[in-house]
Structure 1
Amino acid sequence: MRIFTFGLSHHTAGIEIREQVAVEGDRADEVLRLLHGIACEVVFVSTCNRTEVYGIFKGTKEETRHNLISVFSQYSKLPFEILEEKSYFSIDHEAIRHLFRVISSLDSMVVGENQITGQIKAAYNLAKQHHTVGPILHQLFSHAFSVVKGVKTKTGIGRGAVSVSSIAVDLAEDILDGLAGKTAMIIGAGKTSKLTLKHLISHECSTILVTNRSFEQAQRLAEEFSGKAIRFDDFLCEMQFVDIIISSTSAPHHIIKYQQALVVMNKRANRPLLFIDLAVPRDIPEEILEIDGVFLYTIDDLNIVAENNLAKRRAEVLKAEGLIEQHMVGLDKFFYRG
């Protein structure tokens, strides 16, 4: 049996492709079952920046890749040819090295971020619940968790607690020439929103509004950071008074429409409004950029800031890469057994 990795990420596909392949909630269970029909063992990972499958071959390399593309083409409604062009597929050494780099955040848009480790652990636990993990992937992921532990403790790769949220707030601060005296609205109440709130507070943002479909969740999050909760039905009315909107919901569709944004901007007399959309699929349509006074940045637009972050961490990245290569040594028997 051989190990494989299949997927697409921010390195190979833009957000317009990734948002169609992203899998959330109960759909992950469904996709995992489909994938288990292709692979003897399988773990499925879906985040804002990547959708990946780690598995053990049932058929040939060519058959497996073709079947994987077919599953995601069926799910996403994207043509087979597009997914074939945008996806990557590796086996054995390269597949395992890829997992080690991903879980250690070396392959992340924001190198050093901590969320990816938790996301992969959650994906592994889901696969265990559905009994799609066997002895090989169990050993592989156990080893991967040891790798990331070593990387985090022996390098400074995560120093400063960088994340997509921190990059977003840094961007807002630069564009608005500081956040003191500014009002921010957070749409969503998940982990990304919580991280965003922490960074807004640390950057001395004066007023923070929180909205979510569950008003109770919005209240809990707002209270934790001395913000104000807004009912989801009312957030469009409040938009006319804010300076920045950072959205990160798990909605499968846009939560703000062009016409709604146009009405808001007319009420603001076109006073500039900054949108940062961290959601995949996107919460905010790109067409609102046509409206005077609107500035919109998506998660892919944060790449420039993330590149600056990577340059500062280059030495720590090299240390982490070296640790991964040490773990790769002597694993041939594991790759080819059975």
Structure 2
Amino acid sequence: MQLVVLGLNHKTAPVEVRECFSFSEEQLRLALRRLRDQEIVEECVWLSTCNRTELYAIVEDAEEAYEPLKEVMTRMATGQQRPDDYVFYHCDQDCIKHLFRVSSSLDSLVIGEGQILSQVKKAYSMARDAGTTSTVLNTLFHRAITVGKKVRTVTRIAYNAVSVSYAAVEMAKSVCGEMEKVKVLLLGAGEMGELTAKHLVASGVQTVFVSNRRYERAVDLAKRFHGEAVPFESFLQRAVDADIIITSTGAPHYMIRAWDMAHIMPKRQGRPIVLIDIAVPRDVEPETAAIQGVTLYNIDDLEAVVESNLRLREQEAKAAEEIIEKELTELVSKFRYLSFQPVMARLADKAEHIRQREMKRALTKLPDLPPEEMKIMESMSRMIIRKMLRDPMVRLNQAAGSEQEEYYLEAIRELFKLDAIGEGKHCEAKACYRYARQ
């Protein structure tokens, strides 16, 4: 069995491709259920955010699983877009390291941003609820979440933390300068919208309009930041008064079209407007940028803002990489140990079965044995078993992941006749990464 991840992200695919592979929670739950009922994977977790879509899976053979997994992703995509030229595929240790870097925000568009860790937690929770995780992915994701927390605690990578929403506000400041008199319309009151509102107020913005499909959510967010809630069906009318519009909805289609802005601009009496679209799929039709007086930025345009922060975080990222390498080594050792657990457990079970049988025979010949002496015999027999098995157990553990691994497994099974207790032989692994279900 092998551990793999198939995915695409902001490094491998432009926004117009990523938005075709941005899946809703309902789509992911359905995909998990379908994969659970098929033989493509043993375990799986889907992670889908605005900047990445990744499928983590346990498969029989990584090479053979590549095309079927890619086909699963293709069938889920909107439109006719195929992932062929944009996906990456990591196996075993490379897969583990990739997830550790993702959860630590080292692989994010904005290094050090805080959203990705909660998104990893949510993805894992969804898969666990769907019943598509077991020993390996449970162990992997628990450790990945721990690594993400450790990196943010031990290093200063999260100090003055930035996120896509923070980068959007920085972009707005670079265009408009002083923000005190700027009027901002926030379209979308989800987690991204809330973070954006927080950064806007911290930057000095005093007038914030909030519009959301669920009006009560807009009211709640506007109240917290002393803003004004705008009914969703009326946000285009309010756009006439705004200097900046930041969109972050989860809509599958454009919320602001070129036709809309073409009718709004004459009403603004020559005042320019800035649109910052941080949604995936995009909220603003690209052709809007061609209208006079309109400046449009999408999520890929935030790269420049991100670049200015990279130099400040390079040293902390190095410290984070050291943490990841150490955690990677420990987890790989644990996975290698897991490969021997079935044999070790069967050996221990057989020894205990023999001990109990012989103790029972001995005690039938000593019916008047006092309880104190019975405890001594019990303890002595347990200690004999423990000391007899210690060296084989240590040698097995030392052989994990080495060329002698299969040799020792076969030897232990043959010498102690472990296959006679109803267990099948250990599967021959096709890569150094092995695991055992518990």
Q: TM bucket by the smaller chain?
A: over 0.9
- How far residue 304 of structure 1 moved from its aligned partner, in angstroms, is 1.1
Give the counterpart letter for 1:2 in structure 2: Q
In 2, Cα distance between equivalents of 1:337 and 1:220: 48
In 2, Cα distance between equivalents of 1:235 and 1:77: 27
1:264 maps to 264
Give the counterpart letter for 1:318 in structure 2: K
Give the counterpart letter for 1:41 in structure 2: E
1:42-80 CA distance string (max 9 Å, x none): 01000000000111013x323311011111211215657
CA contact (8 A) 1:8 1:50 kept: yes
1:23-51 CA distance string (max 9 Å, x none): 01311111222343321000100000000
1:64 maps to 65
Larger RCO: Structure 1 or Structure 2 (Cα < 8 Å, ≥ 6 residues apart)?
1
Gaps of 5+ in 1: none
1:336 maps to 434
Query: Which deviates the most, 162-171 or 42-51?
Result: 162-171
In 1, Cα distance between equivalents of 2:159 and 2:244: 27
Q: Is 1:88 matched with 2:186?
A: no
1:313 alignment partner, SS class: helix
Instruction: Report 1:1-338 matches (<5 A).
Output: 1-36=1-36, 37=38, 38-58=40-60, 60-77=61-78, 82-330=82-330, 331-332=332-333, 334=335, 335-338=433-436
1:317 alignment partner, SS class: helix
Give the counterpart letter for 2:312 in structure 1: K
In 2, Cα distance between equivalents of 1:72 and 1:4: 14
1:62-117 CA distance string (max 9 Å, x none): 3311011111211215657x412100001011000000000000000000001000
In 2, Cα distance between equivalents of 1:159 and 1:115: 14
Alpha-carbon RMSD: 1.3
2:240 alignment partner, SS class: helix
TM-score (norm 2): 0.75
Change over 3 Å in CA distance of 1:97–1:78 after alignment to 2: farther
Q: How many residues align?
A: 336
Give the counterpart letter for 1:70 in structure 2: E
In 1, Cα distance between equivalents of 2:144 and 2:200: 33
CA contact (8 A) 1:255 1:284 kept: yes
2:355 maps to none
1:267 alignment partner, SS class: helix
1:329 alignment partner, SS class: helix
TM-score (norm 1): 0.96
Give the counterpart letter for 2:7 in structure 1: G
More strand by share: 1
- How far residue 233 of structure 1 moved from its aligned partner, in angstroms, is 1.0
Give the counterpart letter for 2:65 in structure 1: T
- How far residue 332 of structure 1 moved from its aligned partner, in angstroms, is 4.3
1:327 alignment partner, SS class: helix
CA contact (8 A) 1:277 1:283 kept: yes
Give the counterpart letter for 2:219 in structure 1: Q
Give the counterpart letter for 1:121 in structure 2: K
Give the counterpart letter for 2:69 in structure 1: L
Give the counterpart letter for 2:435 in structure 1: R
In 1, Cα distance between equivalents of 2:71 and 2:96: 23
Query: Which deviates the most, 156-165 or 102-111?
Result: 156-165
Query: Which deviates the most, 287-296 or 145-154?
Result: 145-154
1:185 alignment partner, SS class: strand
Greater Rg over alpha carbons, structure: 2
In 2, Cα distance between equivalents of 1:77 and 1:198: 33
Give the counterpart letter for 1:39 in structure 2: V
Change over 3 Å in CA distance of 1:90–1:78 after alignment to 2: farther
